[in-house]
Structure 1
Amino acid sequence: MSGEGPVPQAIRKLSAGKLVIASHNEGKVREIRELLQPYGMDVVSAGELELPEPEETGTTFVANAELKALQAADLSGLPALSDDSGLCVEALGGDPGIFSARWGGENKDFGHAMQLVEDRLAEKGPDAARDAHFICALALAWPDGHVEWFEGRVDGTLVWPPRGDKGHGYDPVFVPVGGQETFGEMDQAVKNDISHRADAFRQLVAAVF
C-alpha cells in the first residue's frame, strides 16, 4: 500500500463543524462518516441535502473528486468532502478505473460490474494476471473555491466467484496483499484500517485537522 511518504502539508485547516460528504452512495457515506467520527465533524451527505449529482467529466480520480466537492460546497455553503474511487485491473489496462461505478449500468449493479470484469479477464485467457488495485482520491473544498486533495491506494488480487456481503462495490472480489479474506468478507473496522480510503484519510487527517 502507498501513502508512506511525506505527510502532505495543507494550505488550509478544517475547523470542527458541519461538513458535507458529496456522495449519494450510502456505503461510501457510511465509511467516511465512521472515519470522520473522531474529529468533531457534524456530517451530512449530499443525498440528505438533496443536492444533484454532477456529471463526472474528469479524466482522473482527482479531477472527478474535485468537481463533486466544489459543486457541493458551492450549493450548500459549507465545506464539502468528496471521494472518487475505483478498481484498476492491470490486465485490463487499468479498467474499469474512473468508470468503475458506470460499469454497473444506470442502476449501479455491482454484481453485473464484477461479472463484466471477470468476463473481460476470461477473454485474456487462463493465464491473465489478476493483479488489481483500488484508488481513492479525496477532495476537500470550501465555498470560496479552495480545494485540498489526497490520493490513497491499496494493492491486491481478484478472486472469483465473489465472496462476502459486507462493504460495497467491488469489495467481494478483491483480496488485499497479504490477506486471505476479500473486502466483502472482512470486518469493516479491519478494512477501514487498510483500505485505499483509509490511506487517503490518513493523509487528509495529518494535513487538515
Structure 2
Amino acid sequence: MRSVSSVVLAVTALIIAVPATAQAEPSDSEGNSRTVAQGVFTRYQESAAAITYAPELVPPGARMAVFAESSPGEGTSVAAVLEGLRPNRTYGAHVHTRPCGAEGSDAGPHFQRVPAPEGVSGDPAYANPSNEIWLDFRTDAAGNAVSGAFGEWNPHRGDASSVVIHEHRTRTAPGAAGEAGARLACLNVAF
C-alpha cells in the first residue's frame, strides 16, 4: 500500500491536470481498490461533482481532489488536496454516507466503520478519527491545503459517497465529538 505522502503527491498531480470526475477502479485480484474524485466547486446543479453551500468560505472556482486506496488487512489511505479556499483558515472535513445534493444535509451523516447505535450522537467512542474518516485542514496564505488520513476503514459505495467540508475543526469532547459546524461544501466521491 502507498503511504499517505505518496497518495498526496498523486492527488496533487490530479487536481492540476484533470477535469471534474469521480471514479472507482474495480478491485484487483488481491482486493485492492482505488478511488479518485476531483471537482471545481460551483453552486448546486444536478450534474455538479463539487458543490459550495457557502461561497464566502468555499468560493466558486475553488478545487478539491480526493484519492483513496484500500488493501484488505492493511487499511485505507485517504488524501485530499484543495486549492482556492479562504487563506489561513481551519476547516473540518469528513467522509459522509450519501452523495452531495442541493442542501448540505443531503450528504447524510459521517461514514463510520462501526456505526453508532440509533440516536447516539457526540459520543467519542463512535465519533473519532479511528472510526470516522476525518480530513480537517488549514489553508496556507494562498488558500491551498493538503490533508490525509490512514485507518482500518473499508469505505465503499453505499456507505460512503462524499467528502463534506465543514465550518471549523472537528470537536472531540463528549457530547460534541464529531461536530464541525455548518456544511460549507461537498465533493462526490465514488468510494
Per the normalisation by structure 1, the TM-score is 0.25
Name the structure with the higher strand share: 2
Task: Give the TM-score normalised by structure 2.
Answer: 0.26
Please identify the structure whose Cα radius of gyration is greater: 1
